[in-house]
Amino acid sequence: MTADLRTRLGQAELPNPILTASGCAGSGRELAQFFDISKIGAVVTKSVLLAPRAGRPTPRMAETPSGMLNSIGLQGPGIDAFLQRDLPWLLSRGARAVVSIAGGTVDEFAELAARLSDAAGVSAIEVNISCPNVEHRGQVFACDPGAAAAVIEAVRGRARYDIPVFAKLSPDVTDIVAIARACVAAGADGLSMINTMLGMAIDTGTMRPVLAGLTGGLSGPAIRPVAVRCIWQVRAALPDVPIIGMGGVKTGRDALELILAGASMVSVGTAIFHDPSACPRILRELEEELASRGVERLAEVVGLAHEPRTAARRGSFTSNIL
Amino acid sequence: MTRSETDPAAGPVQVRGTVLTVRRVDAYCALTMVAPGVAARFRPGQFVALAVGGPDTGMLLRRAFSIHSVRPDHGGTVEFVFAANGPGTRWLAERRARDLLDVTGPLGRPFPVPRDPASCVLVGGGYGSAPLFALADRLRERHCTVDFLLGAASGDRVFGALTARRTGRTATIMTEDGSLGARGLVTDMLGQVIHDARADVIYACGPMPMLRQVTALAARYDIPVQAAVEEAMACGIGVCMTCVLPVVGNDGITRMVRSCVDGPVFRGDQVRWDDIGTIPFDAFGAPGWESRPGRAAPAAGRLASGRPAGDGRAGPPHQQHLPGRQ
């Protein structure tokens, strides 16, 4: 028996909950060499900006225990090239496109939302207000409830009514629930969490920072417990708000963990660098995890960890944390 | 367009490779594996990216290695050369026959080869020479002459000196400590080799400072250079954006391009060697960069050169820069 993996994204329905994570799959083109991108829930694009951006200098990457630091700095060709070339290509492949947007000002975010709303075929907008690789912390809107709300309100105001708007949150805050509440009050249809955590590495040989940009975003399985905690806290506070969970998902078991915490969709990021076929593999593994537990519908297990005495109720679960 | 759109057979594959042998070659290791789809698609200059550390590893980034050789045996074998000096490469060095490896490849833009017979000088630094021998075979098939110029810090770090001497029209070896060949850097002898070989084109692979020097010297002789760069990569397939370097397109615009998919082979004169590790102020999308009037907004992340990604038959090195023979 295979479980029913369908999940809702706004008004639309995705065939399954496995998505790519923004910044780890480009616009799907490279991964399409390795698997059929129409078979996963959606492709979440690398964040699109209004203008082309060259990003940060190299070295941009450092491997860390069960993770990596990156300081790409939102390199990309800008919205014109995206709309001309990348979005039509994604749609031509039958893929569903969740477009991540980033900007330095509220107006830039709003204009991007308007431009995307004029294009056909955008399944959702993920508002990247939490990229740590920007000039100064003031540009990380997700660190402040007021700034986060201002961006989301502007995007929701300019985005077409039927395109869901997801706010992507940073774990680098004291109270993520406060940020989540502010975004939802400002009109966010859902929340994506978590973005990378700000980190740093020093080369003890050269005795200098490894990254040219000094600091970078930490991703990979090393941060998965942080993602689980953030999703848990927000789900507990805002049980009706859809969550795209991401942060260190490398296996179907990991995806299930985020789903149990409250995510109804799961993005796969750094694992793609390790295995370009990670998304279809994780989807297959998730199906197996659910089948082995006798779960018939994905919806049954979304946020299930919040229910008391779950194991007793279902009777057949055995702990597999070891 | 990606290669897969124009020619599906030319795209990379992800396969489970089976280790045949791992052997020491002087200071390096050479690993041979059965990786059928990879061997069949290979062109000299391309590389493979491997997952290391096994299924439960904490090492997430793929390791990229130039392909040294492919053979048709066992359905297609691939060999690459590496220095076991980090946890990932040490893990690779410990592999034994029949171990399995997660391999993607062949990746990247191969060396373009001349359409007509030409005199080719192949310059390698350290184990950067590894991809040059398959290239040499291909060049000889095209009736080109091949002269090798290899160098390293010491004799045990010159990869393939014997093969170069056996198969090259000439082979010049340089070591910094003088333990093999002449004492000095490859660039000390490059002018002489260019002159003696009456070189039409230079192919180079090795450390960035060497590639920069080779390009600068070749410019004096007005000879094109095809340089395979060694840049740190996380994925090898073009999605992580970590391996970028500033390269001037045929439209004159500098872009931060990915060495994994737009390279690793670049025309030497198009790489801004001195600006590697920076974002040049005039690079596409640099802070303050603006599209000038009358300039079509170019696509970032790729060269607007229209060079064929296959084997580059229509492109460099032979026609674009006619070699200026003295």
Nearest by CB to A276, which of B4, B237, B261?
A: B237
Q: Specify if A321 maps to a domain.
A: no
Whether residues A75 and B244 touch (CB distance < 8 A) is answered with yes
CATH number of the domain residue B185 falls in:
3.40.50.80
Nearest by CB to A80, which of B241, B276, B297?
A: B297
Å from B212 to nearest chain A CA? 17
Radius of gyration (Cα) for chain B, nearest Å?
19
pLDDT at B9: 57
Q: Specify if A267 maps to a domain.
A: yes
Nearest by CB to B58, which of A29, A65, A272?
A: A65
Whether residues A30 and B239 touch (CB distance < 8 A) is answered with yes
pLDDT at B230: 87
Minimal Cα distance from A93: which residue of B?
A: B5
Sequence length of chain A is: 322
B266 at interface of A, judged by CB pairs closer than 8 A: no
Chain B residues close to A24, C-beta within 8 Å: 239-240
| Angstrom distance (rounded) from CA B197 to CA A6 | 66
H or E segment at B228?
Answer: strand B225-228
Three-state SS annotation for chain A: CCCECCEEECCEEECCCEEECCCCCCCCCCHHHCCCHHHCCEEECCCECCCCECCCCCCCEEEECCEEEECCCCCECCHHHHHHHHHHHHHHCCCCEEEEECCCCHHHHHHHHHHHHHCCCEEEEEEECCCCCCCCHHHCHHHCHHHHHHHHHHHHHHCCCCCCEEEECCCCCCCHHHHHHHHHHCCCCEEEECCCEEEECEECCCCEECCCCCEEEEECHHHHHHHHHHHHHHHHHCCCCCEEECCCCCCHHHHHHHHHHCCCEEEECHHHHHCCCHHHHHHHHHHHHHHHCCCCEHHHCCCHHHCCCHHHHHCCCCCCCC
Minimal Cα distance from B5: which residue of A?
A: A33
Å from A226 to nearest chain B CA? 17
Look at residues B107, B132, B167 and tell me which one is the last residue of a structural domain: B107
**Tens digit of each residue's pLDDT (9 = 90 or more) over B158-178:** 999 999 999 999 999 999 999
Containing domain of residue A20, as a range?
A: 7-314
Contact B134, B114 (CB under 8 A): no
B91 at interface of A, judged by CB pairs closer than 8 A: no
Low-confidence ranges of chain B (pLDDT < 50): 1-8, 293-326
Low-confidence ranges of chain A (pLDDT < 50): 312, 315, 322
Q: Specify if B195 maps to a domain.
A: yes
A224 at interface of B, judged by CB pairs closer than 8 A: no
A221 at interface of B, judged by CB pairs closer than 8 A: yes
Q: For chain B, where are the alpha helices, taking DSSP H only?
A: 3-6, 36-41, 87-93, 132-141, 161-167, 186-197, 208-220
Which residues 137-196 in chain A show a CB within 8 A of chain B?
A: none
Q: Specify if B321 maps to a domain.
A: no
Minimal Cα distance from A61: which residue of B?
A: B242
* Cβ neighbours around B153 below 10 Å, total: 14
CATH number of the domain residue B58 falls in:
2.40.30.10
Number of domains in chain A: 1
Q: Residue B17: which of B46, B44, B45, B52 has the closest Cα?
A: B52
Whether residues A63 and B284 touch (CB distance < 8 A) is answered with no
Å from B120 to nearest chain A CA? 32
Whether residues B276 and A51 touch (CB distance < 8 A) is answered with no
Radius of gyration (Cα) for chain A, nearest Å?
19
| Angstrom distance (rounded) from CA A181 to CA A50 | 27
Whether residues A34 and B14 touch (CB distance < 8 A) is answered with yes
A63 at interface of B, judged by CB pairs closer than 8 A: yes
Contact A9, A124 (CB under 8 A): yes
Q: Residue A72: which of A86, A62, A87 has the closest Cα?
A: A62
Residues B224 and B236 in one domain: no
Nearest by CB to B242, which of A32, A60, A272?
A: A60
Burial class (CB in 10 A: 0-12, 13-18, 19+), A119: middle
**Which residue type occupies B50?**
L
Q: Specify if A168 maps to a domain.
A: yes
* Cβ neighbours around B320 below 10 Å, total: 15
A274 at interface of B, judged by CB pairs closer than 8 A: yes
What does each C-alpha distance from B240 to B193, B228, B233, B243 come to in angstroms?
A: 39, 20, 8, 8
A203 at interface of B, judged by CB pairs closer than 8 A: no
Whether residues A72 and B238 touch (CB distance < 8 A) is answered with no
Number of domains in chain B: 3
Contacts of B209 (CB under 8 A, 6+ apart): none
Contacts of A322 (CB under 8 A, 6+ apart): none
B99 at interface of A, judged by CB pairs closer than 8 A: no
Structure tokens at A188: 């966010």
B208 at interface of A, judged by CB pairs closer than 8 A: no
Minimal Cα distance from B240: which residue of A?
A: A24
Å from A282 to nearest chain B CA? 14
Catalytic residue, candidates A24, A131, A230, A279 = A131
B245 at interface of A, judged by CB pairs closer than 8 A: yes
Q: How many CB pairs below 8 A link A and B?
A: 140
Which residues 20-49 in chain B show a CB within 8 A of chain A?
A: none
Chain B residues close to A32, C-beta within 8 Å: 2, 4
* Cβ neighbours around B166 below 10 Å, total: 9
Interface test with B, best of A75, A89, A267 (most B CBs within 10 A): A75
pTM of the shown model: 0.90
Residues B246 and B222 in one domain: no
- Tell me the β-bridge partners of A61: A70
A29 at interface of B, judged by CB pairs closer than 8 A: yes
Residues B72 and B144 in one domain: no
Whether residues A52 and B284 touch (CB distance < 8 A) is answered with yes
Residues B8 and B70 in one domain: yes
Interface test with B, best of A20, A24, A31, A60 (most B CBs within 10 A): A60
| Angstrom distance (rounded) from CA B21 to CA A105 | 56
Interface test with A, best of B15, B241, B281 (most A CBs within 10 A): B241
DSSP B271: B
CATH number of the domain residue A20 falls in:
3.20.20.70
Q: Specify if A198 maps to a domain.
A: yes
ipTM: 0.91
Chain A residues close to B4, C-beta within 8 Å: 32-33
**DSSP secondary structure, B57-119, as one string:** -S--SPEEEEEEEEE-GGG-EEEEEE---SHHHHHHHT--TT-EEEEEEEESBPPP--SS--E
Contacts of A132 (CB under 8 A, 6+ apart): A140, A170, A172, A195, A196, A197, A198, A215, A216, A217
Q: Say whether A143 is catalytic.
A: no
- Tell me the β-bridge partners of B15: B103
Whether residues A270 and B60 touch (CB distance < 8 A) is answered with yes
DSSP B237: S
Q: Specify if B169 maps to a domain.
A: yes
* Cβ neighbours around B80 below 10 Å, total: 25
Containing domain of residue B77, as a range?
A: 3-107
Q: Specify if A236 maps to a domain.
A: yes
Q: Find tokens 């124009």 and name the residue.
A: B6
Whether residues B241 and A60 touch (CB distance < 8 A) is answered with yes
CA triple B229-B323-B230, angle to 5 deg: 5
Which residues 275-294 in chain A show a CB within 8 A of chain B?
A: 275-277
Q: Specify if B49 maps to a domain.
A: yes
**Tens digit of each residue's pLDDT (9 = 90 or more) over B300-316:** 444 434 333 333 333 33
Torsion of CA A147, A150, A155, A158, to 10 degrees: -160
